[in-house]
């Protein structure tokens, strides 16, 4: 079975408090985009589970990959048999796009379907939250307001259908620990849901990502990308998640000549749905 785990962007991201368990509470809005990996899972004819990777590199040993961890959870709880997993990686890692979490969530969904285990969505959400804070979002392909560690999801009527997205990903890997260094948790003056209800033209003033200050100070080239996107005519531009990707939302497709500014970076373009 072949599936295509997609990525996401964050519209606003506030770190509201540090929890007793060491994690942080946040509020953000996840919006799915079409940049995606390819994931193939088949029963293992030799009875041995193996993981194969192609495309973009993923740091760390293969037995620590989230796809394998997802299989291990279901193997332990629902007797999922051995499988061969092939992940063709397109979504860059450490970019704030949720690629690893998406791969894990799609592994859970695919194993459930492939072996007809009929695991409930609520149970899958529980397993997903063990794999990553934003993993639960990728079980359902729709925008969502997120709180807690990112696992508490609430539907919210926001559509960017028809707007043009330009995503720029510099060759910089930002770990979660690095992103949180220097963060001072605080509740925002204006609740995120209220800001999302503003006209899109007002987002540039009010819709913020708390990670930007620290990351921009450390990597001024990332800040420059955001500035250039606004110079190109973006209605709104922001770093996604903990970086290093930066996206711009446009009324129309940016000029090809303008995009040459980013010719040394990974670029992704799409019309949002």
DSSP class of residue 65? Answer: S
The catalytically annotated residue of 37, 103, 125, 134 is 134
Alpha helices in 88-211 (DSSP H): 99-114, 121-131, 176-180, 192-196, 203-206
In the structure encoding, which two tokens stand for residue 4, read together? 């295509």
Report angle CA 197, 105, 87 to the nearest 5 degrees: 120
The angle that helices 99-114 and 66-78 make with each other, rounded to 10 degrees, is 30
Paired with 248 in beta bridges are 166, 237
The answer to whether 260 is a known catalytic residue is: no
The answer to whether 21 is a known catalytic residue is: no
In the structure encoding, which two tokens stand for residue 177, read together? 């620990």
Tell me the residue ranges of DSSP E strands in the chain.
2-3, 6-18, 24-36, 38-43, 50-55, 83-89, 144-147, 152-154, 164-169, 236-239, 246-250, 266-271
Centre a 10 Å sphere on the Cβ of residue 57 and count the other Cβ atoms it contains.
10
Place of tokens 């990553």: 132
Q: Are 147 and 154 in contact (CB under 8 A)?
A: yes
The catalytically annotated residue of 8, 89, 125, 226 is 8
Give the whole-angstrom CA distance, residue 169 versus residue 89: 15
In the structure encoding, which two tokens stand for residue 45, read together? 């004819």
Residues involved in catalysis = 8, 134
């Amino acid at each position: 079975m072949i599936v295509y785990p997609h990525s996401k962007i964050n519209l606003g991201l506030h770190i509201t408090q540090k929890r007793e368990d060491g994690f942080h509470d946040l509020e953000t809005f996840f919006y799915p985009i079409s940049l995606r990996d390819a994931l193939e899972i088949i029963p293992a004819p030799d009875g041995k589970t193996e993981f194969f990777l192609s495309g973009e590199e993923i740091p760390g040993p293969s037995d620590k990959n989230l796809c394998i961890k997802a299989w291990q959870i279901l193997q332990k709880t629902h007797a999922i048999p051995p499988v061969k997993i092939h992940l063709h990686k397109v979504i860059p890692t450490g970019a704030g796009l949720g690629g690893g979490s998406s791969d894990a969530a799609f592994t859970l969904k695919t194993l459930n379907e492939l072996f007809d285990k009929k695991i409930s969505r609520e149970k899958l959400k529980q397993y997903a939250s063990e794999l990553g804070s934003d993993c639960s979002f990728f079980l359902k392909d729709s925008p969502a307001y997120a709180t807690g560690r990112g696992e508490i999801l609430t539907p919210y009527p926001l559509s960017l259908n028809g707007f043009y997205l330009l995503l720029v990903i510099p060759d910089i890997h930002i770990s979660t620990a690095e992103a949180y260094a220097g963060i001072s948790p605080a509740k925002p003056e204006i609740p995120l849901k209220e800001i999302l209800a503003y006209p899109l033209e007002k987002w540039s003033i009010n819709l913020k990502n708390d990670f930007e200050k620290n990351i921009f100070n450390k990597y001024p080239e990332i800040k420059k990308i955001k500035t250039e996107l606004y110079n190109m005519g973006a209605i709104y531009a922001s770093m996604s998640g903990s970086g290093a990707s930066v996206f711009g939302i446009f009324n129309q497709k940016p000029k090809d000549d303008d995009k040459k500014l980013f010719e040394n970076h990974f670029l992704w373009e799409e019309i949002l749905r």
